[in-house]
Amino acid sequence: MKALCWQGKNEVRVESVPDPKILNPRDAIVRVTSTAICGSDLHLYDGYIPTLRMGDILGHEFMGEVVEVGPSIVNLKVGDRVVVPFTISCGNCFFCKNEMWSLCDNSNPNAAVAEKVNGYSGSGLFGYSHMYGGYAGGQAEYVRVPFADVGPLRVPHGLDDEQVLFLSDIFPTGFMAAENCNIQPGDTVAVWGCGPVGQLAIRSAFLLGAERVIAIDRFSDRLIMARETGQAEVINYEETDILEALEEMTGGVGPDSCIDAVGLEAHGHTIDAIYDRAKAALMMSSDRPSVLRQALQACRKGGTVSIPGVYGGYLDKVNFGAAFAKGLTLKMGQTHVQKYMLRLLNYIQDGKIDPSFIISHRLTLEDAPEGYRIFQKKIDHCTKIVMHPHETIH
């Protein structure tokens, strides 16, 4: 089959690789009909996430048709259309039973590596480095899905791929980011980053009852999308002092909650952001946490900072004192996708949201290397790339 394989920093290539096969009784093989490039794939592409190996197949946002099931799979059959969560979860451990799916105890065969780095290991993830299990990802024609009796969601008739594809990651991720804010009536939520997760966090915040959402980015097309599709108030951080603007817009108290939908590769022109870039350039730091600093500083007393943006290592000069002084609640982590899929599917079926609004580009799998390039550079107003591996699109 054809699959997109990581070659090194800023280099991916479509290769012919062996077809996946059933390795465990609870596996299924899925013929991928739609697969997307996620913003967190760019962290891999940019070389920020350790333990990737040459030849690893990327991709963790995908869906398709079941073509083979292992002997223990009874809830899926060949021919079912499924969306597959990017978190691989066993459904049996303490964490899965308590809906902390992304913290599954059993799905990461390289848990020892993650333990060395983080103390304890989270779940395995598709296509996201060997520290997270080393599982082959879904930017391919076919993919093996472990614990397939737990994760994949069958797609009801009448919904096309692009309406439900983002149930695999970014819609639940944006939703969990908003849910973590514990939104109360009248709340104002500030969202840093108007990429796909940020856009869906904006929509989710309103779905959960926020009165106002303030969206922050530097790309005018993304800010326009946040304003026109998401009904958010917007700030361009290249033109406006964010902290002053947020204070002014919230009557001097700050947003009730702040969402960092940017993570470790934050840009910016403040002194701390320049400092971060210099340290990263000298390979003295892995993360550039300038958005997190702003969120901690801007949030109102007793508020919540929710962090769906990915961080990878040690963070320098983070104003943790501000978080302590204001009694902030910090919530973060990989998304517990399985917890949200059915609820969000209902939102889609009820017509409350159609997440496909974020798609800007549709490519073939062969075009994936170019897709990574334009997504990384934000060329051609790129917000989200979807590929259909078994179709020819031109």
Give 26 or 361: the residue with its C-beta nearer to another protein. 26
Q: CA 5 → CA 1, 52, 58, 74, distances in Å? A: 12, 11, 6, 32
Q: CB of 325: closest distance to another protein in angstroms?
A: 35
Q: CB of 53: closest distance to another protein in angstroms?
A: 6
Give 114 or 337: the residue with its C-beta nearer to another protein. 114
Give 31 or 381: the residue with its C-beta nearer to another protein. 31
Q: CB of 245: closest distance to another protein in angstroms?
A: 46
Residues whose CB is less than 8 angstroms from the CB of residue 46 and which lie 6 or more positions away in sequence, other chains included: 9, 10, 265, 376
Residues whose CB is less than 8 angstroms from the CB of residue 220 and which lie 6 or more positions away in sequence, other chains included: 236
Give 133 or 308: the residue with its C-beta nearer to another protein. 133
Binding site for another protein (CB under 8 A): 1, 3, 5-6, 13, 15, 17-21, 23-26, 53-57, 72, 88, 90-94, 97, 105-109, 111-112, 124, 133-136, 140, 142, 144, 146-147
Give 142 or 175: the residue with its C-beta nearer to another protein. 142
Per-residue buried b or exposed e for 311-327, using 16+ beta carbons within 10 Å of the residue's own CB = bbeebeebbeebbeebe
CA 387, 156, 343, 87 torsion-angle sign:
negative
- Residue 270, Cβ density class (10 Å: 0-12 exposed, 13-18 middle, ≥19 buried): middle
Q: CB of 283: closest distance to another protein in angstroms?
A: 19
Q: Strand, coil or helix: what is 277?
A: helix
Q: CB of 253: closest distance to another protein in angstroms?
A: 41
